[in-house]
Structure 1
């Protein structure tokens, strides 16, 4: 039984290490500002000012707004 527990502990340590490595890569990319030059939706150039303020921008402001609005829940009046 003790051997099984040791193997589980080793598996958990490995899983936690893998997760931390993935988190580190994502943080490095975020800190490096590895966004896109062109919008992934419309293909238009993402303005330099947006890329400076949102270093990881994948979309132009217009497409980002449209995407966020489409994901927000619809509010209905109580009438």
Structure 2
């Protein structure tokens, strides 16, 4: 039963974090508009539709996908 409570605590913490991120994005939008217009990685414009759906976007969809893939890959060891 305790493991179930831990899972619920983690889910609640995740939900609260998501809410805080959304609130911060909405506040930023209210102060200066949608997220960045330019991707921080490639320098290309971020489409308005992406900025509407992801208000705090700092990368275009392609660069964000590449960033997430690079985080997901374990570090490779070289054979010595």
Relative to the length of structure 1, the TM-score reads 0.54
The answer on 1:40 being equivalent to 2:40 is: yes
Structure 2 vs 1, CA of residues 27 and 62 (structure 1 numbering), >3 Å: closer, same or farther?
Answer: closer
Structure 2 vs 1, CA of residues 27 and 50 (structure 1 numbering), >3 Å: closer, same or farther?
Answer: closer
Pairs aligned (count): 50
Offset of residue 27 of structure 1: 6.5
Match of 1:30 among 25, 29, 51: 25
Gaps of 5+ in 2: 1-19, 75-80
CA RMSD of aligned residues (A): 2.1
| Partners of 1:68 and 1:27 in 2: CA distance | 20
Offset of residue 30 of structure 1: 1.4
| Partners of 2:25 and 2:60 in 1: CA distance | 17
Gaps of 5+ in 1: 1-23, 75-79
For the pair shown, which has the larger CA radius of gyration, 1 or 2? 1
SS at match of 1:69: helix
| Deviant stretches of 4+, over 3 Å | 26-29
